[in-house]
Structure formats: C-alpha cells, structure tokens
Amino acid sequence: MLVALPLSGCGGSPDRRQAPLAGAAIGGPFALTDQDGRPVTDKDFAGRYRAIYFGYSFCPDVCPTTLQGLMQGYHAFAKDKPAQAAKIVPIFISVDPDRDTPAVLKTYVAAFGPELKGLTGTPAEIARVTREYAVSYGKQPVARGTDASHYLMSHSNVVILFGPEGRPITMVPTDQGAQAVSDIFATWVR
C-alpha cells in the first residue's frame, strides 16, 4: 500500500492540511445584540477565531451540556496555551429571541465563564443569521393546558470553529469531553 505524506519546506512551515469544513457555505455577516445590550456585528470578531453555538437559555438539557463541554475545553486550552486561547471568542447565539433578552443572556452566559459572549436579536435578525449559518430551529407546540410560555425550541446542535476571516474550519466535539475540545483548538488555532 502506497501512502502519501504531506511535505513541508525547509523553513518548517506549519501544517497545511485541509480544514474539514473548508469551502462549506456556512457563516456570513450578522448584526445582533450582545448580553450587555450593545449592537454587535460579525466585524467585531474579525481577526479572531470563533466557536459558535446556536441554542437558547431555557433549554433544559442539550444547550447547557454543550456549553459546559465547550467552555471546559476552552478553559483547559487557555490553561495550557493562554496566548492562543486569547485568539478565540466562544459565542452563544439564541434561537429564542422572544425570551432571550440581553438581560437573560447576561445571566445565562456568565454561568459558563466570562469569555462566552451571548447574542440575541429580533426574530428577523435571528432568522437571517440562522440562514447564513445553516442552522435549523423552530418553536415546539406546548401540551394542551400548559402555560404557552413554557415552550421548547428544536434546533441544530453543533459548535463550529470559524477562522479569523470568518470561514468555517471544523466542528467542535463538545460531546467527547474537555480534552477533545482543547485538542481541536490546539490543532487549528494558530
């Protein structure tokens, strides 16, 4: 069996392997509101890696588990490689703008660490950003006799790492533990 190995130049150039999501039509411009009520656009994160997750603060299980895995991995990476970790901004974008106000998001994201940015917007802004980032979501009907404000949201469940130019790099394996998340960051964040 013949195996092709990547070659590097004499200067010890960095690994040039293809990112798993290279060329994927995921991502794009957005204009939202952060957890402090300030307007934020994608340009505010230019030059930084972005670990982006879409979910909602009232999620009973998947969102907090995913964010916990993301942030535990981020903190492990930051402990080992603080300069590289400073190049990453973890971002949580709500798919539930009716309940996820900036004040609600401020409390929610703070539970995972001060580095996590929470973003929300109007229903139209959220619809636009989810289209750009290929995220599906929808409000689930509540059972008869249940308070209408106790609805759940279905949504895509993946964290994607984007590069400094905003292009997708890879999925972040939050379901595999903090070390797997840290390893992904170590592989791609330069």
Secondary structure (DSSP) of 66-82: HHHHHHHHHHHHHHH-H
Quick check: is 64 in a domain?
Answer: yes
Sign of CA dihedral 53, 57, 59, 60: positive
> Mapped to the 3 state alphabet, what secondary structure does 130-167 carry?
HHHCCCCEEECCCCCCCCHHHCCEEECCCEEEECCCCC
CA atoms within a 13 Å half-sphere pointing along the CA-CB vector of 129: 26
Quick check: is 8 in a domain?
Answer: no
Question: Domain span at residue 108?
Answer: 31-139+150-188
Nearest to 28 by CA among 154, 120, 144, 125: 125
Q: State pLDDT tens for residues 154-172.
A: 999 999 999 999 999 999 9
pTM of the model: 0.89
Quick check: is 4 in a domain?
Answer: no
Strand 88-94: give its sheet, edge to edge: 39-41, 31-34, 117-120, 88-94, 49-55, 159-162, 168-172
Quick check: is 123 in a domain?
Answer: yes
The reported pLDDT for the residue numbered 4 is 37
- Above pLDDT 70, what percent of the chain? 92
Quick check: is 129 in a domain?
Answer: yes
Quick check: is 77 in a domain?
Answer: yes
CATH number, domain at 92? 3.40.30.10
Q: State pLDDT tens for residues 136-145.
A: 999 998 877 7
Q: Work out the number of other CB atoms within 10 angstroms of the CB of residue 109.
A: 23
Could you tell me the pLDDT band of residue 7, with boundaries at 50, 70 and 90?
Answer: very low
The reported pLDDT for the residue numbered 37 is 98
**How far apart, in whole angstroms, are the C-alpha atoms of residue 167 and residue 22?**
7
How many domains, in total, are found in the chain? 1
Checking if the pLDDT of 182 tops 90, the result is yes
Quick check: is 26 in a domain?
Answer: no
Strands (E), the chain: 31-34, 39-41, 49-55, 88-94, 117-120, 137-139, 153-155, 159-162, 168-172
Q: State pLDDT tens for residues 12-58.
A: 334 557 999 999 999 999 999 999 999 999 999 999 999 999 999 99
The reported pLDDT for the residue numbered 147 is 77
The reported pLDDT for the residue numbered 16 is 55
Could you tell me the pLDDT band of residue 79, with boundaries at 50, 70 and 90?
Answer: very high
The reported pLDDT for the residue numbered 8 is 37
Quick check: is 21 in a domain?
Answer: no
